[in-house]
Structure formats: structure tokens, C-alpha cells
Amino acid sequence: MAVELIKSSMTTVQNGVAKADGKISLTGNELKFVPFNQQLGLGPYTLKRDDICAVEKCLATGGGIFPISADALRVILNDGKRYEFILADTSEWLTLL
């Protein structure tokens, strides 16, 4: 069974001061992040869309403190876990999610 890809893009996942570049993909059932370097410990992540309770714009930060870009999204899961992605077209991603 083929999975319908809705959107994909290059992105950076951010967890405090730690960041990893990779690819983010959205299908009807999940949001998936696969880092280019999996040795950093930031992914891969597969987030079920049913587990996502909120998506909001946020600031990308340098060193976990200094705002460097407004092109970021925070994905919040039902269990309280949060994932932040720095990517282009944040408004489109926000609408799709």
C-alpha cells in the first residue's frame, strides 16, 4: 500500500541548544523527521497525527536563548512532548497540520 505524501522539506529540529538538519515529511497519518546524521541522537521521529494536539509558530534560537528566526514550528503531542522544527513555509505547514 502506497503512502500519500502531502508535503516534505528540508528542516532543522531544535531541542534547546542541540540542532540536527534533516528531512521532514507529512502524510495523512504521520509527521516524520529523519536527520542526516543519526549519531547526534535527535531523531528519527515519527509522530502520529492523531497524537498531535497543537501546532504553533515559535522562534528558532541560537544557543537555546537568542532568537535567530521566526521560521519555526512547535508540535505538541497529547502526552506533553514538544518538537521544534526550523523550516521554510511555516504558514503552509501550520495549515496542513
Q: How far apart, in whole angstroms, are the C-alpha atoms of residue 91 and residue 51?
A: 21
Q: Output the nine-digit C-alpha cell for 75.
A: 508540535
- DSSP state, 39? G
Q: What is the pLDDT of residues 15-51, one digit of tens each?
A: 877 889 999 999 999 999 999 998 878 889 999 999 9
Q: What is the pLDDT of residues 77-92, one digit of tens each?
A: 999 999 999 998 899 9
**Cβ contact 32:13 at 8 Å:** no
Per-residue confidence (pLDDT) for residue 26, from 0 to 100: 96
Residue closest to 74 by CA, chosen among 95, 60, 92: 60
What is the SS3 assignment for 67? Answer: strand
- What is the band of 63 on the pLDDT scale with cuts at 50, 70, 90? low
Q: How far apart, in whole angstroms, are the C-alpha atoms of residue 84 and residue 90?
A: 12
Predicted TM-score (pTM) of the model is 0.86
